Chain A
């Protein structure tokens, strides 16, 4: 047996570079002829459209509240001057001009509280207490009549503070109702189950606008003679009942995801129904549905725009009021709409990003 000397085979070629930018572009934009074709067509469309849009919205736009310049630029550039001119009316509605620092501070406080509630280390019982304090401060600031603040009736509240107030308060008040209804729908007691199911299905079957009409036209008939309730509160009650039905379904989804074995195990240990719900089921179920709760908040936030139909001046209503009243600026209403669309977008987009982030955290903790 003769020893053969070691013959190395030729080295394999280095793998083609697939991570650098040019390689990524080649694969994702010109991978095959179909991809390349759609890239060329779409690219051409974008090259034609984007510069025109940038030109209209930024380069040729009029930023100063200058009516003459706006009229001259019509059709060529956007007139953001309309926002500059009506800024205070759009953001704060009909709130007295000199007192507008109050809604500003109140809204900033509310937003800070919302952000704090999104931070996990702060999910402690005292957060609920803090919410009550913040809401009280919000109302004192907005309504006044104490501490040397002048009184501002609720029909003058408007704009972004009203939008944020409606969304936050209706979801906060809807939460306990939704919790009870969700538990009720899974209860062993048939009467309670039927009531809860009826409530949820009735509310989910009708549009919000009919609930709001009911709140503003029929609610006064429901109340005893002589008792008038502020329209803001009536609308809030309507939105709360509406949000509660949707939130109840979200929470029920979480309850259903808890394996039955856990409940049976807890019952074997001698825990009562309420102990089981409080110590075993709800902590897991609620943590699971936090992303869906945030999504419900997003849709309630968008739905607050409907209150402008029952003549409250939220962000949408305030814009209509601000611009329809002034014939000079009326031709530039589209820019106003785009401005508030941007505000809604910033809020909803950041909340949806947050909900996606939480979802990832929840999945991570489950080891998926």
Chain B
């Protein structure tokens, strides 16, 4: 009996899945390439017709505008790429400070929603609802208005100890850099190393003998003590550059402008309301039995939260928390609305002066994409660290 072989199939039949898939992909590729070619050729044509120059050579030209605040000196004769650098540093400054403060505030509010006190619960819920249901731009505009209109003028600034608060922002004392400060800084670094060694030793001893040692306050005390020792060894310098009220402005000392403060407070309070929800859902995802079991083992509420609830909640919390950090960084671009010189408002100014819209927007997008990718990469690394170690 002859065995019947299955009918031979040509791979290039319209009926084969592989062939159809190839055709679909080729069509998609062609369509996208066509659209890009259409847009690019239009752009090039339009630029030629309107006499717009293109290219990134403008970056080395003199910028010709001054920037209100920057971490390093910048004057209007310097080049565009220096101006962009100032903008990027300003963006990073507000984003890093905002992420830190929003995490602290958001975690407090999120944990507060599980308080035994009904008043605390209610206030935390009200905070979340009030802040996250209003656009962040409106937050920023309101804070900017409050900081620049409602505060006293610079001449009669409010004085709290060595701090001044006025329409000109906040002025605060900064220690003057002396040789002794280097000793103190060295002491703090040595303290951090010592504290790390202490924690390793304490953990080993705990695992070997079961004798628990202080894992938080003792390291903190070590760092502070080492810093103090270094400071004393350096001759205990106490020279401080305090702000003084001058005739027209508050002089000397460090200062934060109202633009920076409005952006920082607005972004922090807005993002904190989202972080609070993230933390709340993280804690809610841990079964109540875990908390009851911890109580049955004799852990008090604080230890229960720190040792049992938090490590489990953290796994749920980190991916959405990453999104909130990215959102805060991206929302810092709204600085353009209140005149804080971040990278978007520098790009906006450069765009108006040179007319190179394509290049300036490309720079802004590249900066934010890089920041987003770096933040995601870091958070993914951290997430992998706290994830459950499975075999």
Contact = CB atoms under 8 A, between A and B. Distances in A.
Nearest to B47: A221
B351 A207 contact: no
B136 to A, nearest CB: 7
Interface stretch (B116-124, B221-229, B261-269): B116-124
Nearest to B137: A305
B29 interface: yes
Contacts, number: 147
B32 A349 contact: no
Contacts of A213: 344, 348, 351, 357, 361, 364
A223 B42 contact: yes
Interface stretch (A79-87, A89-97, A132-140, A334-342): A334-342
Contacts of A206: 330, 364-365, 368-369, 372
Contacts of A15: none
A259 to B, nearest CB: 21
A195 B32 contact: yes
Contact of A38 (B49, B119, B134, B351): B119
B28 interface: yes
B116 A210 contact: no
Contact of A209 (B39, B132, B146, B333): B333
Contact of A189 (B21, B32, B357): B21
Given A42-B120, A217-B351, A344-B133, A309 B337 contact: yes
A305 B42 contact: no
Nearest to B335: A209
Contacts of B116: 28, 31-32, 35
Nearest to B117: A35
A306 B351 CA distance: 19
A345 B142 contact: no
Interface string A28-67: 1101100100110011001000000000000000000000
A308 B142 CA distance: 15
B361 A217 contact: yes
Contacts of A349: 129, 133
B365 A210 contact: yes
A367 interface: no
A258 interface: no
B117 A28 contact: yes
B117 A38 contact: yes
Given A190-B25, A195-B28, A341 B123 contact: no
Interface residues of B, number: 53
B294 interface: no
Interface string A91-127: 0000000000000000000000000000000000000
A188 interface: yes
B119 A29 contact: yes
B134 A344 contact: yes
A154 interface: no
B373 interface: yes
A303 B135 CA distance: 7
Contacts of B138: 305, 316, 337, 340-341, 344
Interface in B342-391: 344, 348, 351, 357-358, 361, 364-365, 368-369, 372-373
A224 B351 CA distance: 22
A202 interface: yes
A218 interface: yes
A316 B364 contact: no
Chain A interface main SS type: helix
Given A192-B24, A210-B361, A224-B42, A302 B136 contact: yes
A348 B134 contact: yes
A333 B148 CA distance: 12
B130 interface: yes
B299 interface: no
A250 to B, nearest CB: 12
A72 to B, nearest CB: 18
Contacts of A217: 351, 357, 361
Contacts of A268: none
A207 B119 contact: no
Contacts of A352: 133
A348 B129 CA distance: 10
Contacts of B47: 221
A337 B344 contact: no
B373 A205 contact: yes
B149 to A, nearest CB: 8
Q: Which interface residue of B28, B119, B136, B358 has the most chain A CB atoms within 10 A?
A: B119
A281 B32 CA distance: 27
A191 B133 contact: no
A306 B364 CA distance: 17
Interface of B: 21, 24-25, 28-29, 32, 39, 42-43, 45-47, 49, 115-120, 123, 129-130, 132-138, 141-142, 145-146, 149-150, 330-331, 333-334, 336-337, 344, 348, 351, 357-358, 361, 364-365, 368-369, 372-373
Closest 6 pairs (CB-CB, A-B): A28-B118, A348-B133, A191-B25, A207-B330, A302-B135, A207-B333
Given A205-B372, A207-B344, A340-B138, 9 more contacts: A192-B24, A207-B331, A213-B351, A223-B42, A225-B46, A305-B137, A305-B138, A341-B138, A344-B135
